[in-house]
């Protein structure tokens, strides 16, 4: 299986008495472009350590992705099965099914995650502070993970019907009721 990783990093600073302390925050997405995606976030003093840690966390957070159809069920599943949303911080990402051939109508951050997850066509809608890359990526990941959280009729298990008690014990219930005489109890 072809597994791809995509990473981005950004410096984050903490103001101390002696100046600033800079650390590097790495975001790593890992996917096989065929129904699996993982996202890892790690902060460290060095870029390489942050990326290495984020890759490990991304591998540990791999989830299955459910894909579906926009219209008729022709060919392989190509889009999200239904409208799903994910939220992180102020960022809310909504994924909407799209017809075959539309492509990924999205900003660069969700587009990367959606393509790694194996979606070919999808509309997206994002609200909030999407410039916050970490929250934007996490919200998209939450929306992708919500595809299996939605129970649709094709996932229902077969219902096994049992007889009602009236039907099951019909022979006993059909017998006429005979009142038993009371027995005297001697103490």
Query: In this predicted structure, what is the pLDDT of residue 3?
Result: 75
**Does pTM surpass 0.75?**
yes
67-88 tens-digit pLDDT = 999 988 899 999 999 999 999 9
At residue 187, the pLDDT reads 76
Q: Are 95 and 75 in contact (CB under 8 A)?
A: no
Chunked mean pLDDT (size 10), the chain, 187 residues: 76 86 93 94 93 95 94 92 96 96 95 95 96 95 93 85 90 85 80
pLDDT at residue 98, rounded to an integer:
96
Three-state secondary structure along 61-127? CCEECCCECCCCCCCCCCECCCCEEEEECCEEEEEECCCCCCCEECCHHHHHHHHHHCCCCEEEEEE
Under 8 Å between Cβ of 4 and 112: no
Supply the pLDDT for residue 2. 61
């Amino acid at each position: 299986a072809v597994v791809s990783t995509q990473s981005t990093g950004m410096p984050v600073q903490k103001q101390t008495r002696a100046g600033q302390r800079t650390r590097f925050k790495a975001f790593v997405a890992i996917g096989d472009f065929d129904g699996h995606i993982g996202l890892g976030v790690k902060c460290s003093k060095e870029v390489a350590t942050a990326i290495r840690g984020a890759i490990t966390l991304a591998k540990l957070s791999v989830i299955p992705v459910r894909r579906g159809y926009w219209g008729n069920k022709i060919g392989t599943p190509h889009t999200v099965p239904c409208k799903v949303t994910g939220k992180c911080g102020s960022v809310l990402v909504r994924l909407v099914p799209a017809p075959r051939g539309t492509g990924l109508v999205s900003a660069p951050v969700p587009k990367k995650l959606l393509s790694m997850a194996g979606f070919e066509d999808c509309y997206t809608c994002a609200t909030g502070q999407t410039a916050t890359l970490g929250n934007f990526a996490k919200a998209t990941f939450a929306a992708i993970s919500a595809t299996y959280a939605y129970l649709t009729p094709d996932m229902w298990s077969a219902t096994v019907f049992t007889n009602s008690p009236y039907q099951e014990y019909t022979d006993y219930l059909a017998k006429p009721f005979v009142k038993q005489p009371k027995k005297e109890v001697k103490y």
